[in-house]
Structure 1
Amino acid sequence: MAATSSCGRLTRLMFFTPLFFAFFGTGTSIAQVPLIIWSNDGLPGLASSPAGHITSNEQLANYLTSAFGSGTHTVLLFLQDKLSKDDFTVFAGVFGNKQDSVFQNLEAALQSSSSSVTLPALQWSHSTSVTSLLEEKLGVSPVLVDAGTLSQLNVDVSVSNLLIINLPYCTDLQKACREVLRDNDDIIGKVVTTMEVKNVPYTAMYTGSQPSQVISEPSVMNQHAGRLLLQAVDPDVKPPIMFNMSGGPCIMLWAQNLNISFSAPPQWLDLAAETPSLAGSLCNSTNSLLVLSYPSGVTLRFAMSQRFYPVSARNWFTLDSVQLQSNGITASFIGSRGIYAPAEYSFHCQTVSSFRDALLVPNATNQTTSDWRLNFIDFQIQGFGLANGTDFSYASDCAGFFTPGIWMGLLSSLLMLLVFVYGLHMIMQLNTMDRFDDPKGPSISVPQSE
């Protein structure tokens, strides 16, 4: 089961992000219906479950027990003839376009509610239904109502109430599905408004009597999803190094290996295995300095800056220099023109070194540190424009477009094209003979003389 206590996050996931319904694993045909629950009187929370989880009727029954186990409750059940999660992904607006969504009233109800829960995949079968579960948990018989007569109905809040509002679904004989769902959304809006006017505490549910279509979906109730397996067997992935200033993230750096060497031939020391201190780091709108002081006595300083370039009409940041300090001696490596990215991006490169295809050029004045080398593997850094403290922004990679393989393909294609053009030219130069021998005419005799 997937749940969230944040209504804004829930509605974005439910209505604007088709990836909310992504599943992993091998698919089997399983009948499912979505179930949306919201309340102005509070709902118990739900623990997060892995993507692709199909909620069983037993799990729903346990949740309803915790939600309606004590006290009196008024439950509004919007029961549509058919409903599937694809109805949300198709008719909830394109790329979050609220004007195009047919569920505007439902979205508004979720945003204004005190708490809400969404189950994108509730297991469905002919023998069980949400209505029977609610009758059992509330201990009352359902009452069928419609939006027009609800305002005249006296709701007694001293006892539990189960009010069912049946909603139609589109068929080939009816009007378009978009219009039917939009009318159903208007009914939901009217009913919710009526309950708010009556000042009645309520819990509302929106689901289907059966799925509008049975889609091949995976069941991970009895098996582990592939992504979870990867997460379980890869615990050694290091978090990025992050420097915060003024309460927000300022600089982020991640590397698989931060290899340094002080001798020739190189004897590498991987600093990524150690936890550094960030004392001395700073950042502002134009300059950033990341200072990594390691327990081994080695210090790395990454100096970055950004400025506006009129040619591209945007700000770019560059890694100006990397300083390596050990035993009071400092070596400086100048960032070449290859270490740059738009200011709102991060920079990534598979290898950043100072000796082979060097992006970090040793300073010529470092005579005593001529043997010092840097070799960063799977290196990514960002010093400006961080949106949050968990992820890098879009990465600008150092790999060029014209790789050796692409150049080989282009040259081979050019060679074949030249051969083809030469052959075509030779064929076009062929000419027919002006005269032919007539096989039916008299033969040519040549007298022989002695």
Structure 2
Amino acid sequence: MIPDLKSLWTFGLVFACHVLVISAGDSVPVLLWGGDGETSPPEPVNPLYKTSRVDFEKILNRKLGKSLPPLLVFVRDSFCNEDITQNKENLKKIKNAGTIYLPAVESPMSVFESLSSYNLTMDDDLESVADNQLALVQATDLDTVPEIYSSMRESSPNLIAALTGRSCIYSRSERVRRAAAENETSLFFNSSSGEVLFYASQKPFIKMADDKDFVQLTKLSEASYADRKNRTTILGLIFTTPDGSKLTFKFNFTLIYGYYRLINLEYSTTSDVNHTGEILLTSRDRISVPRNFSYHCSQKTIFRNGSIILNFTDLQIQLDARGSFGDTYNCIGFTSIPIWTGIFVTAILALIMIWGLTMIMDIRTMDRFDDPKGKTITISALE
């Protein structure tokens, strides 16, 4: 069975994005329909490849047959698959069993114009097309194509029509492959030995005692760390503000029973006119991480002391790394809710089984039986 126009349009639109690449220049789509509907269909055409001029000539001759029916060709100066996509709803009005859709044909107009057995006519006001006549109609508006074809078919039932163009001119957007730009807002520190790693997805925000809004510290001027007897590690970050002053943050970690714990965070600034020295900032979250794990517990880590607030986003720290972060410790206990649920259900089933076994063990058998050769057991009414 020959597929109808709707199925051909659906098939063509599925490969539209692939066809657009090959439909530039003199390769244009061709829609061929009409006739008595009894002609055998051509061989299947792969929509991903361009149909050559010779192959299209064979397809057209097979469609026309030996009877040389009237041929009506709608021509556009520029015709691409985008035009078909944009006008698919209107072109669906064309229904014919012998419809052929070729998404990319090499110079189809040269094939139509070289039909020696046809008389070429170029008139936009034709009322009918006779046999052995080829009529070229300028299709400035695709909405009128179904109407013109319907009116022509009334006088010529075996009319064959085609819709194509002389070229395909469109601006194709090129995909440029570029290297990913570095994220200048992130904060990352890696010691020379690769042992201490510090990361935050954004530079820290700080709110001073006299400020109303948070200010982002964008310039990290110095970062260092010191390891004291493998027990205490001090990580220092020095930021430079726009006014030239320096803000120093010292993270004091101590190894206790296999856990690195942040004891305190010392904050100081060179612009402190009162010379109050270092200020200890504390966090509500307990920053503690097992050895060989990286700390990454919350999206925002806040340190404060009165009106001074320091905010880190996606903070991740590891003090015994080997050049890269290890497994993350997200402050989730090893006994999670599903584990507790399994233990609870197992305990209930165990209690039911123990109760059942106890009931079975408490069953007692008879210890007295009736002897058929001896005296029968008689139970009086008083007993």
> TM-score, normalization: structure 1?
0.37
Q: Which has the higher helix share?
A: 1
TM norm structure 2: 0.43
